[in-house]
Amino acid sequence: MKRLGRTFFSCDAAVLAPALLGCTFVRMTDAGERLAGLIVETEAYAGPADQAAHTRNGHRSPRNEVMWGDAGLCYVYFTYGMHHCMNVVCGGVDVPEAVLVRAIEPVDGIEIMRTNRSSTATGSKPRKHPLRDRDLCSGPARLCQALGISRDENGLDMTQSDRLWIEPAPDIGRGAVPPDRIVNTTRVGIDSAGPEWAGKPWRWYDRGSAHVSKR
């Protein structure tokens, strides 16, 4: 099986983020089941200068240590006391950049994703209406829930791990998602970083996908 290697990830976050659209994110469960989906929405977090990034002002701690590691590592963090979000580390060693994967379109293991996202699995109230497939992975915490990603996956090297990797888009280089379908706009949930950084057009998504987190 083909997978993206170190070279692909060794670039600026604002370059990697749109390049990941159309690629397939793969997560193998402990039981050997393949959970996979097409990446349809990403955001770039760019190093010490970016006031919306966990590494703003060069901040380095046990929590964000993985962001300082080599490109291709998986950075998972816990937030709001209940959610996990997953990033692809890029840049290179001591260049703390990462791309947040905000949404994927489920392809393989959809039944397991439905189970992982069910109210019984999440502990939330019973759903009034059935969980739609478009709601399975349409958000950074939702996709982690669906794929069973937690801090256990933090630091995994996606260029080598047998549990986590990314497969190239069919027509990599030219872009699996036609350029006219890629929307480039501002990031979500970072207003507190201030207008200068909240205004950066560092979010990309596929206009044609029903699986993005926000339209």
Strands 182-185 and 164-167, by their bridges, are unpaired
Stretch 56-75 residues interacting with DNA (CB under 7 A): 59, 61-64, 67, 75
Neighbours of 170 (CB within 10 A): 10
Is 88 near DNA (CB under 7 A)?
no
As measured in angstroms, the least distance from the Cβ of 125 to DNA is: 4
Q: How many residues bind DNA (CB under 7 A)?
A: 40
- x/- contact string, 16-55, with DNA (CB under 7 A)? ---------------------------x-x------xxxx
Rounded-to-integer distance, Cα 141 and Cα 41, Å: 13
Is 87 near DNA (CB under 7 A)?
yes
As measured in angstroms, the least distance from the Cβ of 39 to DNA is: 14
Stretch 98-127 residues interacting with DNA (CB under 7 A): 98, 100, 117, 119, 122, 124-125, 127
Dig out the tokens for 181 from the structure.
């379908």
Residues 6 or more apart whose CB falls under 8 angstroms from that of 156 comprise: 73, 74, 163, 164
Rounded-to-integer distance, Cα 166 and Cα 157, Å: 11
Rounded-to-integer distance, Cα 75 and Cα 164, Å: 12
Strand residues in the chain grouped as ranges (E)? 24-28, 34-46, 74-79, 83-92, 95-108, 164-167, 182-185, 203-206
The stretch among 2-10, 24-32, 83-91, 175-183 that binds DNA (CB under 7 A) is 83-91
Rounded-to-integer distance, Cα 47 and Cα 68, Å: 9
> Judged by CB under 7 A, which of 83, 114, 163, 181 binds DNA?
83
As measured in angstroms, the least distance from the Cβ of 60 to DNA is: 8
Q: What is the largest CA-CA distance in the chain?
A: 47
Is 184 near DNA (CB under 7 A)?
no
As measured in angstroms, the least distance from the Cβ of 52 to DNA is: 6
As measured in angstroms, the least distance from the Cβ of 195 to DNA is: 14
In three-state secondary structure terms, 134 is: helix
> Judged by CB under 7 A, which of 110, 182, 188, 198 binds DNA?
188
What does the binding site for DNA look like in residue numbers (CB under 7 A)?
43, 45, 52-55, 59, 61-64, 67, 75, 78-83, 85, 87, 98, 100, 117, 119, 122, 124-125, 127, 135, 139-142, 187-190, 192, 213
